[in-house]
A and B are shown apart, each in its own frame.
Chain A
Amino acid sequence: MNAVADTFAATSGAALEARAWAALAEVEDPEIPVLSIVDLGIIRHVRAGADGGVEIGLAPTYSGCPATEVIRASVEAALGSAGLAPVAIQEVLSPPWTSDWISPAGRDKLERYGIAPPAESVSSPRQIGRAHVALNCPRCGSERTRELSRFGSTPCKALHRCDECLEPFEYFKCI
């Protein structure tokens, strides 16, 4: 290969990866459809292969989250319809996914959807061991909220209630 061909290969690899990222940004989380899997922060890497295919690094949120299998299927389908094949999905366990991987855009979307986003960073050593954080109601903004149930409708959520507007709301757990 000469230098021009090398440059071309690099560019087309980058173009493939950009197309893959764009396609992935359209894949919804099956349990929180307002979030894309890119917002959720579970796509660790996208690598163009020499054969025109792509390798995707996918980090599961919870070890036993049933959505993981649906997400894998949706990723393959989305990349397939974007003309990217073959697709290899690699599961990435380390470093583990935490709620800190949710993008700022994803946090905004969660809040607008009525799910309180994770209230704190779990990566900061100062936060470890802290039990209680004041949560704002995603509907009325009040701080007068309390936990109803530490576990909710999906592994990633807990159930809270606002004592001001009296509405229950879901909270995306910090983990």
Chain B
Amino acid sequence: MSAQPRALPSEARIDYVLQLADSNLILGQQLGALVGHAPALEEDLGIANTALDLIGQARHLYSYAAEVEGRGRTEDDFAFLRAERDYRNLALVEQPNGDFGQTIVRQVLFDAWQLELYERLQHSSDRRLAAIAAKGLKETRYHFRYSGSWLVRLGDGTAESHARVQAALERLWPFTRELFDEDDADRELAVAGLTPALPAVERAWSDRVSALLAEATLARPANTPFRWFGRRGVHTEHLGYILAEMQHLPRTYPGARW
């Protein structure tokens, strides 16, 4: 670890890597639930492929966390054998799929964040994290083009589609504060050069989202004092159900193999 500019406890590194991995896994799992249920075959494919990329990135991240931890855990142990409070995902991604408009709004807000984050994280002092971000960035750009084009079509579509995505935006917007709220742990990571400073990510995200909302003829909701702390393990009522379904098999049949 002598290559690091400043000594960072490995717990802080693992915690951060798990935040990214968990958000990807939970969103991937949520999108996976739409396979066979999307409004059209093309959207089924788009959603399934996005889920696949997100889960693939999560696997790289879990494997890395397992290596740093060095206690013999595997990517599967992280995904299937941790309890709700140990999960570090953003509360945004555990919000229900809702209608297609809500799925798309959640995806746009997430994709725009992940895109701006990966753009900067590919220059992280942590070379492994940088490599995962550089690889994921190309996929995330593609996801954003997909979710963004749907947001424009729905927002600038019929009165019904416009009203639905605007409502979804109002509902999900408060959860975006968590993407940028910086605490001491975040600042420590940024000082160590591991992660970008969150205010810079927020400005870029905000510009990107505002431009897209304008194109989609949607009104940008105001920021409110509402806060949630999924990254610190405090979750909304939805995550428990997601984990119950996702973890059912490995917990009921420990060690089960395909």
Contact = CB atoms under 8 A, between A and B. Distances in A.
Interface string B104-148: 000000000000000000000001101110111011001001100
Given A94-B134, A96-B135, A64 B52 contact: yes
* Chain A: interface size category: 20 to 34
Nearest to B28: A64
A94 B55 contact: no
B59 interface: yes
B131 A64 contact: no
B132 A93 contact: yes
A64 B55 contact: yes
Given A95-B134, A155-B52, A155-B53, A62 B139 contact: yes
| Most chain A beta-carbon neighbours within 10 Å: one of B50, B56, B128, B145 | B56
Given A96-B135, A150-B145, A175-B139, A62 B42 contact: no
B49 interface: yes
B174 interface: no
Interface in A38-79: 60, 62-66
A170 B51 CA distance: 21
Given A94-B131, A175-B138, A63 B42 contact: no
B contacts with A: majority SS: helix
B88 to A, nearest CB: 19
A62 B145 contact: no
Nearest to A94: B131
A63 B131 contact: no
Contacts of A60: 56, 135
A143 B46 CA distance: 25
A80 interface: no
A149 to B, nearest CB: 4
Contacts of B134: 93-96
| Most chain B beta-carbon neighbours within 10 Å: one of A98, A151, A155, A173 | A151
| Most chain A beta-carbon neighbours within 10 Å: one of B57, B59, B135 | B135
A175 B135 CA distance: 10
A93 B131 CA distance: 6
A62 B46 contact: no
B42 A151 contact: yes
A13 interface: no
A175 to B, nearest CB: 5
Given A64-B54, A93-B60, A151 B49 contact: yes
B130 A62 contact: no
Given A150-B145, A175-B142, A64 B135 contact: no
A65 B52 contact: yes
Contacts of A148: 42
A95 B52 CA distance: 21
B45 interface: yes
Contacts of B51: 64
A94 B130 contact: yes
| Most chain A beta-carbon neighbours within 10 Å: one of B41, B52, B53, B145 | B52
B46 A64 contact: no
B145 A66 contact: no
Nearest to B132: A93
A137 interface: no
Contacts of A131: 145
Contacts of B149: 150
Nearest to A149: B42
Nearest to B41: A149
B150 to A, nearest CB: 10
Shortest 6 CB-CB contacts between residues of A and residues of B: A64-B56, A63-B56, A94-B131, A149-B42, A64-B52, A93-B131
